[in-house]
Amino acid sequence: MSIIKKTMLRCDRCGKVVEAPESVASLGLPPFPEGGLAGWIQTDGDHHLCADCARPYLAKKSEMERELKHLAGIETIEIDL
């Protein structure tokens, strides 16, 4: 009998589950590599979001960081080149 160990990541928001390479689990997270885990993020200790859930999370996080800078009197100008 053989025992096969797999590492799975589960999105804490929508519940999507993907198999992760063992190297990801042993190296720590993130950033996640390309491939099946592309776009996945770790939000804190053991919480993860899939690519679909990460996009609105990161957009809101960025918006909140800009607002905190504004409230602290830090003004920045963003230019796309």
Minimum distance from CB of 27 to Zn ion (Å)? 22
Of the two residues 9 and 53, which places its CB atom closer to Zn ion in the complex? 53
Of the two residues 15 and 73, which places its CB atom closer to Zn ion in the complex? 15
Residues making contact with Zn ion (CB under 5 A): 11, 13-14, 16, 50, 53
Q: What is the DSSP string of the chain?
A: ------EEEE-TTT--EEEE-HHHHHH-SSSPPSSTTTT-EEEETTEEE-HHHHHHHHHHHHHHHHHHHHHTT--------
Of the two residues 46 and 75, which places its CB atom closer to Zn ion in the complex? 46
Minimum distance from CB of 26 to Zn ion (Å)? 24
Minimum distance from CB of 50 to Zn ion (Å)? 3
Residue closest to 29 by CA, chosen among 9, 2, 51, 52: 9
